[in-house]
Amino acid sequence: MSKPSQFSLKEGAWIGGTPYRVVRPLGLGGMGEVYEVDHTRTGTRRAIKVLRDAKDVSGNAAVRLTREGRALAVIDHPHVVRVFEIGAIADGRPYFAMQLLEGTTLRGLLARERKLAPARALRLMLQALAGLQAVHEHGIVHRDVKPTNLFVCRGEMVKVLDFGVAKLLYGATMSPSTAEGLVLGTMRYMAPEQLSGAPVSCATDVYASALVLFELIAGRHAFQGPKGSEASVVARLREVAPRLSSVADVPLPAAFDDVMARALDRNPAKRYQTAAAFAEALRDSWGTRVVIERVPRPSHLPRKVDLDWTSPSEGEDTAEATRVWCPERRVEPEMRPDAMLRLGMVASICSLVLGSIAVTVAIAGALSHAGPRSRIELPQAPAGHLTGAPR
């Protein structure tokens, strides 16, 4: 946890230009700060991510942070962290308000338990794949799927977090900060095409998801030996991935081993092309040996998302904001009632989405004018608290 003195906003302080008061700082990253806040009009707790430095309000960091918020705001899925509002605080720094997490990341779970039983690992990853499928249906590739960005709430409901390096598949013009050839993401979970700066696709997220599942079951990264360094892991990412059955200390179905091998193929064209296809193959490979909730398939989702935003002009009054309503949210029609019940009971969560290695967004698109001090408001979230650590 970062020291309170490193944060720009103090505990108990009202955040000018917003209805929020700081409860406590949660995490600090390369371009943003995350706080637990109190919504003074409703008395509910949320989390906000705000740009660290006011000097960057007209720079790429401000655009990246706002596009991350917009990417999350348009996705309504029980396994994706939810954003309620996007705007700018009194000094012009952009922010977005989101759910407040109660639980831990998969990284925290691994730190505590080292590895998970295959059935439990599958249940968790099928939820993550459901969230990723919804993300892909919106035309977005996450590009940074890893244990730190998969949050486990009470009842072991998984939420996909951190869209700071996400990329639009279509519908926007490439900007200089997201040009082809740049390597963005966390290297130890990159697919070979991502590592080399080649175009990415949904299959890129499938590869990273398979690496995470491998680690959950084996207790170590697929390309890491017993004493392997970070550098050695990255150096081996372009090699053929080992069979999970060769390193796991529990028996696994041969069909499951085959599914994992296909998901980790170096050639993206040979992998499962969607998160849903990978999830179905995983489930089918276990047959009746383990009961795993089927991944809900997205329905009636928009096929593209506009993440463009114009940062506020200097010298303008930030106390009043122009509000723009987001698209109407829909409940997944095929979501099981018990899953919806768990969603209703789960405490509000916070995505501690702070960039470290990859602080550059790759959601491309030309900026479009959204009006000074724009703010997007969506329905309120229930209260909760965060116990996970920032990456």
Mean pLDDT score of the chain:
75
Provide the token pair at 366. 């030309």
Where would I find the beta strands (DSSP E) of 40-93?
44-51, 83-88
Q: Which helix (H) or strand (E) is 258 found in, with range?
A: helix 254-263
Tell me whether strands 103-105 and 83-88 are parallel, antiparallel or unpaired. Answer: unpaired
Integer CA distances (angstroms), 133 to 6, 298, 308, 343, in order: 37, 7, 22, 18
Question: What pLDDT is recorded for position 245?
Answer: 93
Reduced to 3 states, what is the DSSP secondary structure of residue 350? strand
- CA–CA separation, 271 vs 204, rounded Å? 9
91 is a catalytic site residue: no
- Scored b (16 or more CB within 10 A) or e, 161-197 reads bbbbbbbbbeebeebebbeeeeebbbebbbbbbbeee
Which residue among the candidates 38, 144, 205, 308 is catalytic per the annotation? 144
Is the pLDDT at 90 greater than 60? The verdict is: yes
Domains of the chain and CATH, by start: 4-101+304-377 (3.30.200.20), 105-167+179-286 (1.10.510.10)
Label residues 113-135 b or e (16+ Cβ within 10 Å = b). eebbebebbbbbbbbbbbbbbbb
Whether residue 10 has pLDDT greater than 90: yes
Percentage of the chain modeled with pLDDT above 70: 66
The contacts of residue 232 (CB under 8 Å, 6+ apart) are 223, 224, 225
pLDDT band (50, 70, 90) for residue 2: low
pLDDT for the residue numbered 368: 40
Paired residues of 358 in beta bridges: none
Least confident of 228-242, 255-269, 370-384: 370-384
β-pair partners for 350: 100
Read off the pTM.
Answer: 0.71
Q: What is the pLDDT of residue 170?
A: 63
Output Rg (C-alpha) for the chain, integer angstroms.
Answer: 20
